Homo-oligomer: A and B are copies of this chain.
Amino acid sequence: MTEIKLFCPATIANLSCGFDVLGLCLDNAGDEMIVRKVDQKGVRITKIIGADLPLETEKNVAGVAALAMLATLEVDCGFEIEIYKHIKAGSGIGSSAASAAGAVFGINELLGKPYSRKDLVQFAMQGEKLASGNAHADNVAPALLGGFTLVRSYHPLDIIRIDSPEELFATVVHPQIELKTSDARSVLKQTVSLKSAIMQWGNVGGLIAGLYTKDYDLIGRSLHDEIVEPLRSVLIPGFDLIKQTALENGALGSGISGSGPSIFALSRGKNTADQIAKAMSDVYEKMNLPYEIHVSKINPDGVRII
């Protein structure tokens, strides 16, 4: 095998109460990528379709992730990467993570899998570092592992993968505004009240318990963010109305995807997820705000060969 074509999934990080630790993998929103093994050593990004992103390996998240991985291996070949972007940069559903995860997954396959999917997270994180200045794992982990992921710790890196209940669906709406990550960060406060923090970790515990016991109601009750959402949601047009609409249409919970501006809702069953998508669309139609919308089951596998 010298060439591999991949689906590189979009992901939702900062899942309500799980700010900075909990993410999930989407199934039908994502990029495609071709990774090719070639004689010439090194990594070259040979094509990017659908986005205005740098082709220089050291300036491209896929390139940087691939280089971080190859620096740990002795290989006598090189790799070419073609990227077909469908996830918009800055959408809040893990555009850079999809590329970083795809690159390391593809190279790993072509090299006969020297690494496990979990091992690959650390390399993909280097792509995130290029993209946002912060080597975070909360998008690349679900993109590589599928399902839900908990980043328990960074030092040492400790990632726990959790199966999704099978009937869980996500609806994600992306209002077409630019929300800079730096702006989304600047509204955060560096301290929180102990009382809010306790409520937050109670909900994180409840969400994890709900995932393991497939208790959809408990998942819904736990999808509450005491700390970040109240600060960040003001940056997202129509957030309160979109969230309220999602809940009124049967969502288990709703919140900001990543650092926004996308808004997600989780629900039980595709019909409810579709109904939520329709209702969310109506809100942005009335506001005359362009948007994209995705309805997806939770992707159990992460990045995959197509």
Chain A residues with a Cβ under 8 A of chain B = 17-22, 150-153, 158, 160, 162, 188-195, 197-209, 212-213, 218, 221-222, 227
Q: Once bound together, how far apart are the Cα atoms of A205 and B212, in whole Å?
A: 11
Q: Once bound together, how far apart are the Cα atoms of A209 and B20, in whole Å?
A: 17
A212: chain B residues within 8 A (beta carbon): 208-209, 212-213
Q: Once bound together, how far apart are the Cα atoms of A200 and B222, in whole Å?
A: 17
Q: Given the known A-B contacts A158-B221, A160-B206, are A193 and B190 also in contact in the complex, defined by CB atoms under 8 Å?
A: yes
Residue contact B160 to A21, C-beta cutoff 8 Å: no
Residue contact A206 to B158, C-beta cutoff 8 Å: yes
Given contacts A153-B206, A197-B197, A212-B212, 4 further A-B contacts (CB under 8 A): A191-B191, A191-B193, A197-B201, A204-B208
- Interface pairs A-B: 4 shortest CB-CB: A152-B206, A212-B212, A201-B201, A197-B197
Of the candidates B150, B207, B222, the one whose C-beta lies within 8 Å of that of A206 is B150
A190: chain B residues within 8 A (beta carbon): 193-195
Residue contact B153 to A209, C-beta cutoff 8 Å: no
* Chain B nearest Cβ from A185, distance in angstroms: 11
Q: Once bound together, how far apart are the Cα atoms of A152 and B198, in whole Å?
A: 9
Q: Once bound together, how far apart are the Cα atoms of A253 and B22, in whole Å?
A: 24
A200: chain B residues within 8 A (beta carbon): 197, 201
Of the candidates B17, B201, B213, the one whose C-beta lies within 8 Å of that of A17 is B201
A188: chain B residues within 8 A (beta carbon): 194
Residue contact B191 to A153, C-beta cutoff 8 Å: no
* Chain B nearest Cβ from A223, distance in angstroms: 12
Residue contact B160 to A205, C-beta cutoff 8 Å: yes
Q: Who on chain B is nearest to A190 by CB?
A: B194
Q: Once bound together, how far apart are the Cα atoms of A188 and B218, in whole Å?
A: 30
Residue contact A198 to B19, C-beta cutoff 8 Å: yes
Of the candidates B19, B192, B209, the one whose C-beta lies within 8 Å of that of A208 is B209
Residue contact A21 to B221, C-beta cutoff 8 Å: no
Can you list 27 contacts pairing A with B, beta carbon distance less than 8 Å?
A: A17-B201, A18-B205, A19-B201, A20-B202, A21-B198, A21-B201, A21-B202, A22-B205, A150-B202, A151-B202, A152-B203, A152-B218, A153-B203, A153-B206, A158-B221, A160-B205, A162-B209, A192-B193, A192-B197, A194-B227, A201-B204, A205-B205, A205-B207, A208-B208, A208-B209, A212-B212, A212-B213
Residue contact B22 to A198, C-beta cutoff 8 Å: no
Q: Who on chain B is nearest to A203 by CB?
A: B152
* Chain B nearest Cβ from A224, distance in angstroms: 9
A199: chain B residues within 8 A (beta carbon): 153
Q: Once bound together, how far apart are the Cα atoms of A204 and B202, in whole Å?
A: 8
